């Protein structure tokens, strides 16, 4: 039963001294201990502090810690919260039922598993175990694992479970089975059912089963439900906007008796729908609990006034939201800088240079800076830019670009082209993509190489001479022929053309493109980015190194070797996706790749809900910044050898222009006119003309550009460069192959180019 208004007002006047450090809305939320409560916590408003003090306040009031259930999304959050509570109230905090959804509900299931025909010591399958089981079923059923990719199968099963859909319900749903038939996976429902049955037979649950079986337990066994409903007199949930349907159903049922449910969250930071999160859970809380008290934490303690107000001007464009007015008493701070770069590679260099200058000017540590991007594939250009300036960094929430599996696969192929005796490279890719060269065959190749004192490649290249290889001989011969064709291209094709041909001919690109899961799309994008990086290496006429494949592989090897030190105390610039940055904060933040079809993602442009989630993702990115925020974009991106024009993200337009600093970047102030379907953004590239975007941005490089003879280049001459446009030669120095030209370009300032690599022509003497 909720407190009456009179009792609530009286309780507010009796403020315990340990709550003195909280502001008024925070105190009110902490002291409203009874009845349904929703705490809408804006970015940087101290929500963890409020949840911590609320639990501590309950314990101070004599509530039994065993009757408090507090659910979080990460073990780290639960651990830190428990430690804070323990400092406030002592050892009783150890008796709280606090942890992640999975850890708490697994604990309940251990006690009640027999009710749903599981052993108490059931096994919990991780994703590798689940994939292994799927692979086993596919093999037994003779199903093509290219059509039924184990990762995709598991992802679809997970999404079904998170929406409380069993395999039987899935099979009877015409809409779902119809989608499967259209995609060529007509037996998916049967696979789901078999996977479910095998897990049950093995006494095992995967992570989704922990939630699904808890919901099933409470729904089908009223006595068990009654027991846990009366045990947990207070139920609290952190990050409520990230809950899915099954989490919602469990917590609603557990809180049904006492109605003392408190949810904390921010609808403006709901960014995980691809994992099954349902923003309607928080938007509909007041409908579920008509007597709920709602507290809004609107004071931001993290960011400057400019950043807070700019974030507000962004999120107000979403229709589906809980209205709030986030504000701060912090200083107004600097305007948000918006920076345009000619290409994605230039963007990487510019951001690295900007960090270097800020670091030197203000004597800041590396850890004061974060680079946030929409997709993992974007990290490459920033990693390379930072490395060249000797700025230490770490890629969080994922591997460094060159350590990712799909990148190592492509690089292993390239290594084998350059050096056929590279045994580690050969073992890695000889059967990827699958070409019926199994582990038994590889073991025989290793044995034969040892007996003949030769390399593995020698055996593969002469497979017909070795009867021990049996039925794998033809597959090995085909592999050897393919690799020899690549090796023959070393002298006739540049590194990019060879790598692109290899990626297509081996089937690598096709295999990755067929995987439409979030992870599969990311892997495909990473390989495309690697190919773009190789092309940029080939075309970089500011470098004095040779441009062959061997030189590229050497540069990458040295680069990745530098990253082996993984000391957690290292002072590093942070690189991460925006999704991974949620809950973190940094003094200086660079949000990069602010372009249409990249951010917002092209996949989000056909549906309002998806677009609004992309906008919430941008809101999260902006609110990670404490003192200074920079937004950057490129006017061109390189993909598959084509320089594609890009237009700046619509999200830049949505920020109130008074908070933006674009003068330093050569921008005109944006027009106040709203975006229309057929109108161009103030930053947008004019397509199908030779003109650049409004302002003074040069157009993308002309694909019909023809190089000229620059052997007679001299000071004072006007030249045109394929990428940098027109400029005037300042000086020419060096002899023969080492000749350099320093040129002052009209749009990009002074650059020194190696003449033997420079793509230029003389336009006047």
**Residues that are catalytic:** 47-48, 238-239, 269, 624
Question: What span, in angstroms and rounded, lies between the C-alpha atoms of 231 and 67?
Answer: 6
Question: What span, in angstroms and rounded, lies between the C-alpha atoms of 243 and 277?
Answer: 5
**How does DSSP assign 30-45, residue by residue?**
HH--SS-EEEEE-TTS
Whether residue 86 contacts residue 65, with contact meaning beta carbons closer than 8 Å, is answered with: no
DSSP 631: E
Helix, strand or coil, per DSSP, at residue 187: coil
Altogether, the residues listed in the chain come to a count of: 765
**Closest residue by Cα to residue 224 from 115, 308, 98, 345:** 115
Whether residue 656 contacts residue 309, with contact meaning beta carbons closer than 8 Å, is answered with: yes
Strand 636-639 relative to strand 725-733, pairing? unpaired
Give Cα separations from 217 to 102, 106, 256, 432, 483 (angstroms). 15, 12, 16, 43, 57
Cross-strand partners of 719: 727, 762
**Closest residue by Cα to residue 433 from 504, 519, 371:** 504
Question: What span, in angstroms and rounded, lies between the C-alpha atoms of 86 and 553?
Answer: 53
Whether residue 378 contacts residue 592, with contact meaning beta carbons closer than 8 Å, is answered with: yes
Cβ neighbours around 675 below 10 Å, total: 13
List all residues 6 or more positions away from 537 whose beta carbon is below 8 Å from its beta carbon: 495, 496, 543, 547, 552, 555
**Residue in this structure with the two tokens 């323990």, named with its chain if needed:** 86
DSSP 258: T
List all residues 6 or more positions away from 14 whose beta carbon is below 8 Å from its beta carbon: none
Question: What span, in angstroms and rounded, lies between the C-alpha atoms of 218 and 108?
Answer: 11
Whether residue 26 contacts residue 53, with contact meaning beta carbons closer than 8 Å, is answered with: yes
- C-alpha 609: how far from chain center: 19
The runs of H, that is alpha helices, within 592-685 are 608-622, 650-654
Whether residue 747 contacts residue 696, with contact meaning beta carbons closer than 8 Å, is answered with: yes
**How does DSSP assign 16-81, residue by residue?**
-GGGTTS-HHHHHHHH--SS-EEEEE-TTS-HHHHHHHHHHHHHHTT--GGGEEEEES-HHHHHHH
Per the structure block, which two tokens stand in for 484? Answer: 């020899």
List all residues 6 or more positions away from 632 whose beta carbon is below 8 Å from its beta carbon: 338, 339, 340, 341, 347, 350, 351, 590, 591, 592, 593, 594
**Alpha-carbon torsion (676, 677, 678, 680), positive or negative:** positive
Helix, strand or coil, per DSSP, at residue 760: strand
Question: What span, in angstroms and rounded, lies between the C-alpha atoms of 237 and 265?
Answer: 8
Question: What span, in angstroms and rounded, lies between the C-alpha atoms of 747 and 726?
Answer: 8
Give Cα separations from 591 to 361, 373, 577, 668, 752 (angstroms). 21, 6, 10, 21, 29
Whether residue 372 contacts residue 578, with contact meaning beta carbons closer than 8 Å, is answered with: yes
What is the number of alpha carbons within 13 Å of residue 287 lying toward its C-beta? 6
**Closest residue by Cα to residue 269 from 294, 290, 300:** 300
């Amino acid at each position: 039963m909720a407190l009456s208004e009179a009792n609530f007002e009286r309780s507010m006047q009796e403020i315990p001294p340990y709550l003195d450090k909280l502001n008024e809305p925070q105190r009110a939320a902490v002291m409203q201990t009874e009845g349904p409560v929703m705490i809408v916590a804006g970015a940087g408003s101290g929500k963890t502090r409020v949840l911590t003090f609320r639990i501590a306040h309950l314990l101070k009031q004599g509530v039994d810690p065993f009757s408090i259930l507090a659910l979080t999304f990460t073990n780290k959050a639960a651990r830190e919260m428990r430690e804070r509570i323990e400092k406030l109230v002592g050892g009783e905090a150890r008796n709280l039922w606090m942890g992640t959804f999975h850890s708490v509900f697994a604990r309940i299931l251990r006690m009640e598993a027999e009710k749903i025909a599981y052993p108490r010591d059931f096994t919990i399958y991780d994703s590798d175990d689940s994939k292994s089981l799927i692979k086993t079923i596919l093999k037994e059923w003779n199903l093509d694992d290219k059509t039924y990719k184990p990762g995709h199968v598991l992802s679809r099963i997970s999404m079904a479970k998170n929406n409380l859909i069993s395999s039987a319900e899935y099979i009877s749903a015409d809409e779902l089975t119809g989608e499967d038939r259209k995609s060529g996976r007509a037996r998916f429902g049967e696979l789901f059912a078999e996977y479910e049955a095998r897990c049950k037979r093995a006494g095992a649950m995967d992570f989704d089963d922990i939630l699904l079986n808890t919901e099933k337990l409470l729904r089908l066994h009223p006595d068990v439900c009654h027991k846990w409903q009366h045990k947990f007199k207070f139920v609290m949930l952190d990050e409520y906007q990230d809950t899915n349907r099954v989490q919602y159903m469990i917590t609603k049922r557990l809180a049904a008796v006492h109605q003392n449910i408190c949810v904390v969250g921010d609808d403006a930071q709901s960014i995980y729908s691809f994992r099954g999160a349902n923003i309607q859970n928080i938007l509909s809380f007041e409908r579920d609990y008509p007597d709920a008290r709602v507290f809004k934490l609107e004071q931001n303690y993290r960011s400057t006034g400019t950043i807070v107000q700019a974030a507000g001007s962004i999120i107000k464009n979403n229709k589906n939201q809980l209205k709030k007015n986030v504000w701060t008493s912090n200083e107004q701070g600097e305007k948000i800088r918006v920076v345009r770069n000619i290409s994605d590679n230039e963007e990487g260099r510019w951001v690295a240079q900007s960090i270097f200058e800020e670091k030197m000017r203000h004597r800041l540590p590396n850890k004061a800076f974060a680079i946030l991007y929409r997709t993992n594939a974007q990290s490459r250009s920033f990693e390379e830019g930072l490395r060249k300036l000797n700025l230490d960094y770490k890629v969080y929430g994922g591997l460094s670009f060159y350590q990712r599996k799909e990148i190592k696969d492509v690089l292993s192929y390239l290594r084998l082209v350059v050096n056929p005796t590279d045994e580690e490279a050969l073992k890695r890719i000889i059967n990827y993509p699958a070409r019926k060269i199994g582990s038994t065959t590889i073991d025989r190749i290793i044995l034969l190489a040892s007996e003949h004192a030769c390399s593995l490649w020698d055996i593969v290249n002469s497979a017909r001479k070795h009867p021990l290889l049996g039925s794998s001989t033809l597959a090995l011969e085909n592999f050897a022929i393919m690799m020899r064709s690549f090796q023959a291209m070393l002298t006739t094709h540049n590194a990019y053309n060879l790598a692109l041909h290899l990626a297509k001919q081996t089937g690598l690109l096709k295999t990755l493109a067929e995987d439409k899961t979030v992870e599969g799309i990311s892997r495909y994008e990473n390989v495309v980015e690697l190919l773009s990086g190789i092309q940029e290496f080939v075309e970089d006429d500011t470098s004095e190194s040779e441009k062959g494949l061997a030189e590229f592989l050497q540069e990458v090897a040295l680069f990745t070797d530098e990253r082996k030190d993984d000391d957690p105390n290292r002072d590093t610039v942070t690189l991460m996706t925006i999704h991974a940055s949620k809950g973190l904060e940094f003094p200086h933040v660079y949000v990069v790749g602010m372009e249409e079809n990249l951010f917002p993602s092209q996949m989000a442009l056909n549906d309002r809900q998806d677009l609004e989630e992309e906008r919430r993702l941008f809101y999260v990115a902006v609110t990670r910044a404490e003192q200074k925020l920079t937004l950057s974009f490129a006017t061109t991106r390189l993909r598959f050898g084509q320089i594609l024009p890009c237009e700046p993200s619509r999200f830049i337009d949505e920020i109130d222009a008074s908070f933006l600093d674009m003068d330093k970047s050569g921008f005109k102030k944006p027009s106040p006119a709203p975006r229309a379907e057929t109108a161009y953004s103030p930053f947008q590239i004019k397509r199908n003309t030779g003109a650049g975007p409004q302002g003074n941005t040069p157009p993308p490089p002309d694909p019909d550009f023809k190089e000229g003879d620059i052997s007679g280049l001299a000071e004072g001459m006007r030249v045109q460069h394929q990428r940098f446009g027109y400029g005037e030669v300042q000086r020419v120095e060096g002899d023969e192959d080492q000749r350099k030209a320093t040129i002052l370009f009209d749009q990009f300032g002074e650059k020194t180019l190696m003449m033997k690599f420079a793509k230029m022509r003389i336009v006047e003497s």
